Amino acid sequence: MRNILITGGAGFIGSHVVRLFVNKYPNYNIINLDKLTYAGNLANLKDIENKPNYKFIKADICDFDTILKVFKENKIDGVIHLAAESHVDRSIKDPFTFANTNVMGTLSLLQAAKECWQEDFSNKLFYHISTDEVYGALELTNPKGGNEPGGGPFGNEFFTEETKYNPHSPYSAAKASSDHFVRAFHDTYGMPTLVTNCSNNYGPYQFPEKLIPLFVNNIRHKKPLPVYGKGENVRDWLYVEDHARAIDIIFHKGKIGDTYNIGGFNEWKNIDIVKLLIKTTDKLLGRKEGEDDNLITYVTDRKGHDLRYAIDSTKLKRELGWQPSLQFEQGIEKTVQWYLDNQQWMENVTSGDYQKYYDDMYKNR
Ligand code: NAD
Ligand code: TYD
């Protein structure tokens, strides 16, 4: 496959996937299609924007006619679909946008792929990126101890590829629906598809409405850290470059029609992450240990807040040999350092200046 459409490539995970593919596969044409919503930022890709095998197209995945044109004009034979509305809190306020982008946008891409490929699917692939949140929430139970399948630190149950979908938030309901559409296109038309469900990602270029970049920025500016509820909720965290690496392996070697879970066997309670973030940020800023502990502010819980997510990624390790490369403490230090070093990026994405960046950069192309 040579002409790969990556949707949502100007977002957090998408930018890491685009960078990896553009650098690693000079003989692939990488077409990054992104609407540049508030979460999309071309500054995330500054280092590769002039590479000959990279092209950016500003478009909305819901705009079927444009998407079909993009498929035909660029002879797309592979899709890695990441474009989505991705923030749970926003989905609670505005579920329609989530249904529209995540469900109708995915359907529009699938239909365009089907029409363009005219149901000749040889050497074609539609790879859909999804989340562990579609599986619902796990209990916090008495731990067996150890951070492995069969006994995590916060419970013995894990999400596997066989776990029944049970989404709770409008975000995860919309993602679940899009996963079903992808599988329906495989089962109905024989489209070669792949679906992966990954746990929470962290790392550089994440929009600072999500826990980790938001809190690093707040600590830097000595602003309150709004911990939802009691901070007891558990998430399973994976460094974003490990996710991008998994996507690369699965795109090339995954079994068509299959699903893979991606996760780090790395469960943390929110409050413990917040403490680690304070400790790491203070250390890197040369502040006294404990100086910013008082920024922790318990606030009203998120509505329908899922208690625990924990992914069992044994299948991916067993079948395709992938495993996470970074310890969480290492990854967090690297990440905090990146946000501290890239204050201008932080200010740009929060001020809307990236829109001007886009206009200046691309008005003549
Ligand atoms: P993000 O919000 O950082 O980026 C989303 C990107 O999609 C942005 O660049 C945005 O401009 C683009 N986009 C949004 N609506 C669009 C539309 N209608 N047309 C074209 N482009 C549009 O999201 P992210 O955290 O990078 O997540 C990427 C994907 O990975 C999503 O599908 C998400 O569900 C999934 N995922 C995320 C995580 C996580 O922890 N962030 C974990 C598992 C799976
Ligand atoms: P988030 O980064 O929004 O990811 P997700 O909801 O997809 O897991 O949140 C991670 C966890 O942190 C989640 O349990 C909600 C919690 N959280 C807070 O306690 N305070 C905050 O300000 C944010 C943004 C999240």
In DSSP notation, 199-227 reads -EEESTT--TTSHHHHHHHHHHTT--EEE
pTM, two decimal places: 0.96
Task: Report residues whose beta carbon is within 6 angstroms of any ligand 1 atom.
Answer: 7-8, 10-14, 34-37, 39-40, 60-62, 82-86, 101, 105, 129, 131, 175, 198, 200-201, 207
**What is the pLDDT averaged over residues 244-261?**
98
**Ligand nearest 237 Cα, by number?**
1
Q: What is the mean pLDDT of the chain?
A: 94
User: Residue 108: inside a domain, yes or no?
Assistant: yes
Q: Is 133 a catalytic residue?
A: yes
What is residue 237's predicted lDDT score, i.e. its pLDDT? 97
pLDDT of 147 reads 54
Residue 223 lies in a domain: no
206: CA distance to ligand 2 center in Å?
13
The pLDDT of residue 350 is: 80
Q: Is the pLDDT of residue 303 over 90?
A: yes
Query: Quick check: 319 pLDDT over 70?
Result: yes
340 domain-assigned: no
- Bridge-based pairing state of the strands 267-269 and 54-58: unpaired
In a domain, 280, yes or no: no
132 in catalytic set: yes
Question: Would you state the pLDDT for residue 152?
Answer: 75
175 pLDDT higher than 70: yes
Per-residue pLDDT at 155: 87
Residue 353 pLDDT:
62
Q: What is the pLDDT of residue 153?
A: 83
In a domain, 276, yes or no: no
Please tell me the distance from the alpha carbon of residue 334 to that of residue 280, in angstroms, as a whole number.
10
What's the confidence (pLDDT) of residue 140? 87
352 in a structural domain: no
197 pLDDT above the threshold of 60? yes
Domain span including residue 163: 2-203+237-268+305-327
What percentage of the chain has pLDDT greater than the value 70?
Answer: 93
| 158 belongs to a structural domain | yes
Q: What does DSSP assign to residue 148?
A: B
| CATH number of the domain encompassing residue 97 | 3.40.50.720
Q: 150 lies in a domain?
A: yes
119 pLDDT tier (thresholds 50, 70, 90)? confident
Phi, psi angles (nearest 5°) of residue 204: -65, 155
**210 alpha carbon – ligand 2 mean position (Å):** 6
Least confident of 46-60, 242-256, 292-306, 351-365: 351-365
Residues 6+ apart with CB under 8 A from 241: 16, 20, 203, 325
Confidence of residue 85 (pLDDT cuts 50, 70, 90): very high
Answer yes or no: 293 catalytic: no
Domain count, the chain: 1
Residue 351 has pLDDT above 90, yes or no: no
